[in-house]
Amino acid sequence: MQFTDFSKLDLNRVPSPCFVVDEVAVERNLKILNDVQTRSGAKVLHALKAFSMFSLAPLTTKYLSGTCSSGLHEALLGKEYYGGEVHVFSAAFTESDFKELLTFANHIVFNTPSQLVRFAPLCEAALKTRNDLQFGLRINPEHSEGDVEIYDPCAKGSRLGTTYSQLVKALEQSETQRAFKLISGFHFHTLCEQDFLPLERTLNVVEEKFAKWLPTLTWLNFGGGHHITAPDYQIDELVECIKTIKNKYQVEVYLEPGEAVAIGTGVLVAEVLDIGFNQLAQAILDTSATCHMPDTLEMPYRPDITNSGEANEKAHTYRLGGLTCLAGDVINDYSFDEPLEIGQRLVFEDMAHYTMVKTSTFNGTHLPAIATWNSQTNVLKIVRTFSYDDFKMRLS
C-alpha cells in the first residue's frame, strides 16, 4: 500500500540506506483518524510502538488526542514531543518505571490483577496529588481474529490481558477487591491490520463476557490493530459502533492505532552493493532484513519493491540479501526488467511502520538515515543520520 508516488523523489538526494516519509501522506492518514474522532466522540491516540518519528509530532498533535506507550521510555517521548494524553500499558511494570510513570502518565493500564495489587498503595498515594490519573486493566476476551500466532494476543497460553476466569478468581481475594476499586476502565487489544468486522465480533464477546463490569467503568479502550486509513475500511460503521458503546455504557471510548497513522506513507531506500550467483542470482544490499525490517523474518512478509515483480515474473530474478553474517538475512526473491547494477537504488515500499522503531545494529550495521519529504512541495529534510557512536553507545 502506498499513498504517495515516490518515483517523483530523486533518490540521489538521500543517503543510503534511508527511511523517507512523506508528510503529506501522514497528514492524509491523520485527517481520517481525526474525522473518526470528531464524528464518533472517541479519543484517538497514536501508538508510538508502530511509528515514533517524533520530528512529525507537531503534525500528529494537530489531529490526535495523545499517545499510547508500551513503557516508560515511549511514554516520556509522548510527553516530551507529542503532548495530549499519555497512556501506557505494559505486560509488567518495574517498580522504578512505575513510580516515574505515576508522576506524569494519564492512564496506566495493568496487564494482571497481581500487578494491580502490587502497585495499589503507590497508586493510592499518587491519586492524592493527581486528579488526572486513571488506572485500567487489560482484558483478554479469548477471541482470536488473526491468523499469525505471534501477533495474536488471544492465542492459547497468551500472557497478554486478563481473561474472564482469571478476573473472577482474582476477585475472590479481598486485597484484589480493594485494589480493583482503582480501576476506571478496561482495555483490550486483539486485532492486527483488521477492518471493522473483526472489531465488531470482538466487542460482542467483550460485552457478553465482561457484562458485569462494563456499566461500572468510565472508559473503554479498543486498543490498536484497526486499519482505519486503509482503502475500504468501514469508517461509518466504526463511528456508529463507537457512538452506541458510548451511549450504552456512558463511557469515553479510546482507540490507539499505530499502523493506521503510518501506512502508505514511507519507503526504505537501499543500494545494491554486490551481485553474485549461487544456484540463482544474488544481490547484496546495504540494508538488512534482520536489522532494518525484522518483520520480514518474524511475520514473515514480503515487502514490495517499486518496479519489481515476483520471482521469474520479469526477465531478471535475484535473491535480495542483507549485509550481515546471518545466513537467513534474506529479504526475498524479486524480478526486474533489466539486470540490477552495483550502485543502483531500490525502493522498498510501505516501510514507515514497525521498521524504524525496530532497527538494530547487529554486526555494527549502519542504521538507515531518516528523512521527511513533502510530495507536494518536493522539500526534503534529512532529519537524522547515524554514525559509529550510535552503535558504540549501546555497548560497553
For ligand PLP, which residue of 32, 33, 47, 117 counts as binding (CB under 6 A)? 47
Provide the terminal-to-terminal Cα distance of the chain, rounded to the nearest Å: 40
**What are the angstrom distances between the C-alpha of 386 and each of 149, 189, 231, 365, 389?**
34, 34, 35, 11, 8
Query: For the chain, where are the E strands, in sequence order?
Result: 18-22, 43-47, 66-69, 85-89, 107-110, 134-138, 183-187, 219-221, 252-255, 266-278, 280-285, 316-321, 330-336, 345-348, 369-373, 380-384
Q: How far apart are CA 180 and CA 113, in angstroms?
A: 8
For ligand PLP, which residue of 146, 161, 185, 224 counts as binding (CB under 6 A)? 224
For ligand PLP, which residue of 17, 66, 146, 223 counts as binding (CB under 6 A)? 223
Torsion angle, CA of 362/363/367/368, rounded to 10 degrees? Answer: -110
Q: Which CB, 133 or 191, lies closer to ligand PLP? A: 191
For ligand PLP, which residue of 192, 242, 331, 371 counts as binding (CB under 6 A)? 192
Q: Which CB, 16 or 112, lies closer to ligand PLP? A: 112
x/- mask, ligand PLP, residues 57-76, rule CB under 6 A, reads -----------x--------
For ligand PLP, which residue of 14, 36, 50, 179 counts as binding (CB under 6 A)? 50
Q: Cβ distance 143 to 202 under 8 Å?
A: yes
Amino acid identity of residue 257, one-letter, is: P
CB of 187 to ligand PLP, least distance (A): 7
Q: Which CB, 280 or 299, lies closer to ligand PLP? A: 299
For ligand PLP, which residue of 74, 85, 195, 259 counts as binding (CB under 6 A)? 259
Nearest-CB residue to ligand PLP?
Answer: 224
258 binds ligand PLP (CB under 6 A): yes
89 binds ligand PLP (CB under 6 A): yes
For ligand PLP, which residue of 27, 74, 256, 286 counts as binding (CB under 6 A)? 256
Residues whose CB is less than 8 angstroms from the CB of residue 278 and which lie 6 or more positions away in sequence, other chains included: none
Binding site for ligand PLP (CB under 6 A): 47, 49-50, 68, 89, 189, 192, 223-225, 256-260
